Chain A
Amino acid sequence: MTRKYTATELLASVAAGLLEDNSSVFVGTGLPMIASMLAQRTHAPNLLIIFEAGGIGPQVPVLPISVGDSRTFYRAVSASSMHDVMSASQAGYVDYGFLGAAQIDAYGNLNTTVIGAWDHPTVRFPGSGGANDVGSLCWRTIIVMRQDPRRFVEKLDFLTTPGYLDGPGAREAAGLPAGTGPYRVITQLGLFDFDEATKRMRLLAAHPGVSVRDIEEATSFELIVPDRVDTTEPPTDAALSAMRDIDPTGMVIGK
């Protein structure tokens, strides 16, 4: 019997499970930080965490508020610079990148710029930040976001960050580094990957208590649903304790 957990704790523990020991991960604010710190405190003690402002290989003591926070280079191997970490990503040293988004499409392209027209937006979001760089340069991108029909869309209002663009071969044709692209999508409903042949999003696993129908109803594009859909593992007690230690004020995981 596992303890009660929040949706965010489930997301973070599923995300943490994707990160192997001795791999490198480019981490953004919020849930990606929890997931990476959790992985480092459980199965991946030598996970190399990289922050865009220049923190390399920290042992993050408590959840940072910002990707440039002093906590992002606490007991780090290097307090470096944006040029250095972005160059390392461009040169192929970064295995995983973590991103969030306001909208995603079937090819894993992301929007964090505007809702509505770009020059007359209904809602103005912060823009690319490091997202386009992470989605362009890291080997495998993991996207963590909320799923509903307005967020899982057929057509983005703005393509901020490249997924597989419009299908197989499109990234390479655009000049993006070969062999890169979206790897997994994690939402409050389930876990997804991308079909090798079409590069379209495919359901891998539903969270406990979530049906395939729930997931399809929360998706505005045609989702690939295989015959066999797994159920994700809920967070263990050890993972829950670790997360409450990482985020004692409940800033991201909630209370």
Chain B
Amino acid sequence: MIHFEINTRKSSEVISVIFLALIFFSCTVQLEQNDEIKRSHSLNKEIMCPVCPGESIDQSQNPLAIQMRNLISEKIELGWSDEKIKDFFVDRYGPRVLLAPPSQGFGLWAWIIPPIILVFSLTLFLYVLRRMFLSKDHLAVIDDDKEQSNYAKRVTKSLEAHVRSVNDMERKIGD
């Protein structure tokens, strides 16, 4: 049995690793992009095309978006900082041009609420879990720990229970 355990582990390990490695092999496509291009792309993704609601200038094919993309590249070449470029567009089109709200003023609320939701939900979850756990009636708790966790045994068990129906199935398939 011990021998079998090791065997299974080894084979599944190897197979899984090979499979996953194969999948991820493809991620090696990393093309060299200089920092300026990277910066302009990430900025493009953060700025909305004013005439196409919800679309960033990165995704929009509107002439205005193309113009704005070029403008960003120019500003980066001139040595402007990301913040300065963003401010430049906010001055022109208002704060709605940013796809992520600024983390100051009213926009701060957008960023504050999600962590609050998370913390509140997790607290509630822990409280409920504790209550559910503590309130348990101490009935005869069957210690089926090993039984439950031993997956191989359970498979064997279900196999024996279904051996007749499996045979039936075979007969049916045979027909």
A and B associate: no
B: residues with CB less than 8 A from A are none
